[in-house]
Amino acid sequence: MIKSNPFTPQSGWEPRVFGGREQELAEFRSNLRDAISVRPNHLVVLGEWGIGKTSLLKQFRRMAQEEGNPACFCSISRFTKKDRPLDAIHLIAEEMLMGFPGLNADSEKLLGLFSKKKSPLQAQTQFTKFLLELWKAQDAKLAAVFLDDLQNLLPISNTIDILRAVLSKDEIIRDTRFLFILSSTPAGWSAFLDKHDPVGRFFRKRLSVENLGKQDVINTVEETLEDTGVSFDGRIKERIFEYTNGHPYEVQLLSNHLYDGQIEGRVTEGVWENALNNTLKELGKDYFNTLLAKASDRERYLLKILAEEKRPLSIKDFRTMMIVGRHARRFPIANIKNFLYRLQEKGVVRRDQDAGFDIPDRMFREFVLKFVRT
């Protein structure tokens, strides 16, 4: 009997098999140890969409709990300019009360520390009192607090400055042991730093989440398939890495579609094209269409050229192409430079050290090739 699909292409779904990340896990283990023996060194986990921030944070949480430390996990929902930092701080406090064990009796009293009046100063003093009281109600050497998707606080960005101010207060450092682990997109985090520069000096420990390596991808796929009754041919597993470059969400999504194409438990080359198409369509809905919408028609034309050439191109390469050949005189070559810089600013293309422009993600390139009409 073939089991139901074991791959988890959903944002925030922990994978059936958690691959790689040995170094990150080891780093967190030593971070935990230092937090208990010396002092908490709050950690910021940075990574792009779908790279595995939430899954890594959940793995960290498990580790903290395994070693006897209570932990709570708070997914920050999207706030708007109409909200106040106190709303966000309140949400975090509520999550802490729900996440830490054995606080039921005290939770009303603890939440009672928050009054409805909303000014930044109040948020700061109220959260300080809350943490001090919460700590007293705990019987632990250390308590870990995970705040996922901090970029959702950007419209009320001073929340993060309030958090910094609270965590750096003498009484908090002296009388409590909370370790905060935050996650954010890199762009979100640098926007915080631009607006509130002490934040960067306070949250100094960063960990950046990258793609998985080739062997990690192959092992993860193989282990995920264990006992399902389905196997992928060797060449298919290689290709999963070639196309996704180890991006965890893309690996899960593509493997999910490949799995659905099995015949008598085998996934062979014949299934590839269809699975890839379905994957690209979904990636379009999830992300690529938004990326593409940022490019004007002419910028899209340049993007298509990059996709077709399958190599980094310099401004000069583009200019030459637009003087002679099939792209000649599509538009004034004086504009090319601006278009490329704009594409780079918008995160649609990347520029490498040798000043060549390229499409950063192989799947995005395939998407441009298949779906962009110029």
How far, in Å, CA of 149 to CA of 153, rounded? 8
Quick one: 75 or 268, whose CB is closer to Mg ion?
Answer: 75
Cβ 207 to Mg ion shortest distance, Å: 15
Amino acid (1-letter code) at residue 111: L
Quick one: 3 or 39, whose CB is closer to ligand ATP?
Answer: 3
Reading the block at residue 311, the tokens are 């190599």
> What is the residue whose two structure tokens read 């595995």?
52
Cβ 276 to ligand ATP shortest distance, Å: 18
Q: Of these, 5, 8, 31, 54, which contacts Mg ion (CB under 5 A)?
A: 54
First-to-last C-alpha distance (Å) of the chain:
47
How far, in Å, CA of 277 to CA of 166, rounded? 49
Cβ 51 to Mg ion shortest distance, Å: 9
Q: Give which of Mg ion, ligand ATP, none residue 252 binds (C-beta under 5 to 8 Å, depending on kind).
A: ligand ATP
Quick one: 145 or 313, whose CB is closer to ligand ATP?
Answer: 145
Cβ 218 to ligand ATP shortest distance, Å: 12
How far, in Å, CA of 48 to CA of 33, rounded? 28
Q: Which residue of this chain has its Cβ atom nearest to ligand ATP in the complex?
A: 52
Q: Give which of ligand ATP, Mg ion, none residue 282 binds (C-beta under 5 to 8 Å, depending on kind).
A: none
Q: Smallest Cα–Cα separation from 145: which of 158, 122, 169, 127?
A: 127
Q: Which stretch binds Mg ion (CB under 5 A): 1-9, 54-62, 267-275, 330-338?
A: 54-62
Decide: is 244 part of the binding site for Mg ion (CB under 5 A).
no
Q: Give which of ligand ATP, Mg ion, none residue 85 binds (C-beta under 5 to 8 Å, depending on kind).
A: none
How far, in Å, CA of 112 to CA of 94, rounded? 11
Beta strands in 22-166 (DSSP E): 43-46, 71-75, 143-148
Element (DSSP H or E) covering residue 178: strand 178-184
Quick one: 142 or 258, whose CB is closer to ligand ATP?
Answer: 258
Quick one: 10 or 344, whose CB is closer to ligand ATP?
Answer: 10
How far, in Å, CA of 192 to CA of 244, rounded? 30
- The answer to whether 70 and 144 are in contact (CB under 8 A) is yes
- The answer to whether 320 and 309 are in contact (CB under 8 A) is no
- The answer to whether 129 and 172 are in contact (CB under 8 A) is no
How far, in Å, CA of 274 to CA of 278, rounded? 6
- The answer to whether 336 and 264 are in contact (CB under 8 A) is no
- Note the residues at the interface with ligand ATP (CB under 6 A): 8-15, 18-21, 47, 49-55, 220, 248-249, 252
Cβ 217 to ligand ATP shortest distance, Å: 8
Decide: is 5 part of the binding site for Mg ion (CB under 5 A).
no
Quick one: 25 or 369, whose CB is closer to ligand ATP?
Answer: 25
Cβ 366 to ligand ATP shortest distance, Å: 19
Give phi and psi for 183, each to the nearest 5.
-125, 150
Cβ 50 to Mg ion shortest distance, Å: 8
Quick one: 251 or 359, whose CB is closer to ligand ATP?
Answer: 251
Cβ 75 to Mg ion shortest distance, Å: 8
Quick one: 68 or 213, whose CB is closer to ligand ATP?
Answer: 213
Q: Applying CB under 5 A, which residues contact Mg ion?
A: 53-54
